C-alpha cells in the first residue's frame, strides 16, 4: 500500500480552484481520506446551492481517488479513474462539511468506496457510493 505523507498529499490538493470551492484535504490513510468543505464564502456563493453541490461533489470525487491512492499497491495495479459515483443529498449543504471516502471492497479491476458527508453538528447531509476503476500493472520483462 502507498499511503502518502500527509503534508505532501495536502499540498497536492491545495490549488486556487479548490480554495475557491472551499475544499481542503484533512486526513488520508489506508483506504480512507477526508476533506473539509467550507461553504461560508462571504459573497454571492453563500446562497448558491449549485455552487455548494459542485464543491461537495468535487470533494467526494477526490476523497474516492485519495482513498484508492492510500491503498493501491503500485506494483500490482494502477489507477484508471472514477467509473461511477452516485450521491444522495439528504439535507441542505451549509457551513463547514466533512466529506469522507472509505473503501468497502477491493478487487483486481475496481474498488467500491462509500462516501459520507456530515455538517458541523455531525448530521449526515450526503451519502454515496462510487466505483473506481483499476488496471492490472503490466509485468516488466527484462530485455
- Domain containing residue 126: CATH number: 3.10.129.10
pLDDT of residue 103: 98
Residue 70 forms part of a structural domain: yes
What total number of domains does the chain contain? Answer: 1
Q: Please, how many CA atoms are within 13 Å of residue 76, restricted to the half-sphere of its CB?
A: 11
Residue 71 forms part of a structural domain: yes
Answer whether 96's CB lies under 8 Å from 40's CB: yes
Residue 14 forms part of a structural domain: yes
Strand ranges inside the chain, DSSP E: 23-29, 32-38, 77-89, 96-106, 110-118, 124-136
Sign of the alpha-carbon dihedral angle for 12, 71, 3, 126: positive
pTM of the model: 0.92
Residue 81 forms part of a structural domain: yes
pLDDT of residue 138: 79
| Cell numbers placing 38 | 467550507
pLDDT of residue 74: 87
Residue 113 forms part of a structural domain: yes
Residue 74 forms part of a structural domain: yes
Sign of the alpha-carbon dihedral angle for 29, 18, 91, 40: positive
pLDDT of residue 34: 98
**Sequential pLDDT tens for the chain (143 residues):** 578 889 999 999 999 999 999 999 999 999 999 999 999 999 999 989 999 999 999 999 999 999 999 999 988 998 998 999 999 999 999 999 999 999 999 999 999 999 999 999 999 999 999 999 999 987 765 54
Residue 1 forms part of a structural domain: no
Pairing of strands 96-106, 32-38: antiparallel
Residue 110 forms part of a structural domain: yes
Domain that holds residue 130: 6-136
Amino acid at each position: 500500500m502507498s499511503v502518502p505523507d500527509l503534508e505532501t498529499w495536502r499540498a497536492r490538493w491545495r490549488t486556487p480552484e479548490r480554495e475557491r470551492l472551499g475544499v481542503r484535504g484533512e486526513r488520508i490513510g489506508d483506504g480512507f481520506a477526508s476533506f473539509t468543505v467550507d461553504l461560508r464564502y462571504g459573497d454571492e456563493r453563500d446562497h448558491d446551492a449549485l455552487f455548494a453541490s459542485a464543491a461537495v461533489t468535487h470533494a467526494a470525487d477526490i476523497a474516492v481517488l485519495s482513498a484508492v491512492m492510500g491503498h493501491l499497491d503500485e506494483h500490482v495495479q494502477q489507477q484508471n479513474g472514477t467509473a461511477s459515483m452516485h450521491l444522495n443529498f439528504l439535507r441542505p449543504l451549509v457551513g463547514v462539511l466533512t466529506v469522507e471516502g472509505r473503501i468497502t471492497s477491493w478487487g483486481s479491476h475496481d474498488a467500491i468506496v462509500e462516501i459520507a458527508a456530515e455538517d458541523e453538528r455531525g448530521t449526515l447531509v450526503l451519502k454515496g457510493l462510487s466505483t473506481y476503476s483499476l488496471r492490472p500493472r503490466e509485468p516488466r520483462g527484462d530485455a
